[in-house]
Amino acid sequence: MGTSTAYGGPGGGTPLVPSWLGESPATGEGGEANGVAPADGVSPPVAPNRPAIPASADPQRFSGARNSFTRFAGSGGTDRASLGRAVSRYVSTSSGGARQAAQRMGASRGAGARLLGFLADAQTRGVREALRSLDLESLAGRPIAEIFVGLADYICPGAGTVDEGIAREAYIETIIELTTEGLTDLSTFTPDQMQTVFELYATHAIEARICNDIGTKAVTMPTSAQAAHRVEAQLRDFIRGGVSDALTRARRDSPHLTPERIQSFVDTVYESAFAILQSLGDAEADQ
């Protein structure tokens, strides 16, 4: 969890989901702007039509999740109730619900769609053709880890922000896990193996997002390396269970995934995963 993108966590005064500049002011026919006709051929000054700045979120919204996770970490990974509370509070209070939590995964949702799109293309047209379409045909026939490393700049094109860093970090962690999952031959991937790759990626992305938001530097981890590893493994397994359930539901509802539907499919998986994680967390906390 203590990764290159980790930091002390947001202070809490920023909006739940950042708002960026939208469309420019509407301009009608004949040079009219915002419905105001020019007088004597001279257009009056028009104030820019910008979206309102969203209100700042509760600066304490991360404290509940952070405190619960600190108790879970202090237990060396044995306090499952605190783990459940930490994840549930992160989704419900820190993020404002599953939909808002999914929206915070901007770069990771885009990267996940590109990853899934490439895997689907490789299965449909073959690995060489899928790579050729990206001007990466020289990677054909190489070990799967080399192919995925070569795809890194396509899957995760940026790394200048925390959000982009999370997406790239999750992708690197996925590459590391490929062989341990028995995923060694991209040319023979089945739909279930494609799901496993995306499941790994989404799991690492959500884990990194939670840890960055809570602030790993603000959480006291066990001094024992074994206990710290157990804490990390428990959190990852918990998240992966939610992602796996979300993927199973999404595949049931969309058994035939077309290129045009991949992004909405990925968005649905992330939102569903956070909703499931909140429910699983509540169940753990009540035991």
Residue listed under structure tokens 């420019």: 24
Cβ–Cβ < 8 Å for 112, 198? yes
The pLDDT score that the predictor gives to residue 196 is: 95
Amino acid present at 208:
A
Amino acid present at 25:
P
Cβ–Cβ < 8 Å for 80, 285? no
Strand pairing partners for 27? 33
Helices (H) and strands (E) in the chain, counts: 11, 0
- What's the DSSP call for residue 29? G
- CA 252-111-64 angle, to 5 degrees, is 80
**What is the SS3 assignment for 62?**
coil
CB contact set of 125 (below 8 Å; sequence gap of 6+): none
- Backbone φ, ψ for residue 259 (5° rounding): -55, -35
Q: Dihedral sign, CA of 212, 109, 233, 165?
A: negative
The pLDDT score that the predictor gives to residue 45 is: 60
Number of residues that make up the chain: 287
Cβ–Cβ < 8 Å for 284, 75? no
The pair of structure tokens assigned to 273 is 């995963």
Amino acid present at 127:
V
Closest C-alpha to 73, from 220, 193, 277, 174 = 220
Count the Cβ atoms, other than its own, within 10 Å of residue 6: 19
The pLDDT score that the predictor gives to residue 169 is: 96
Residue listed under structure tokens 């004597």: 40
The pair of structure tokens assigned to 60 is 């304490």
pLDDT tens by residue, the chain, 287 residues: 444 344 445 555 545 554 332 333 333 444 444 444 455 555 556 656 665 555 556 668 889 999 999 999 999 999 999 999 999 999 999 999 999 999 999 999 999 999 999 999 999 999 999 999 999 999 999 999 999 999 999 999 987 899 999 999 999 999 999 988 999 999 999 999 999 999 999 999 999 999 999 875 566 677 788 888 999 999 999 999 999 999 999 999 988 888 899 999 999 999 999 999 999 999 999 87
The pLDDT score that the predictor gives to residue 48 is: 60
Q: In the chain, how long is the greatest CA-to-CA distance?
A: 79
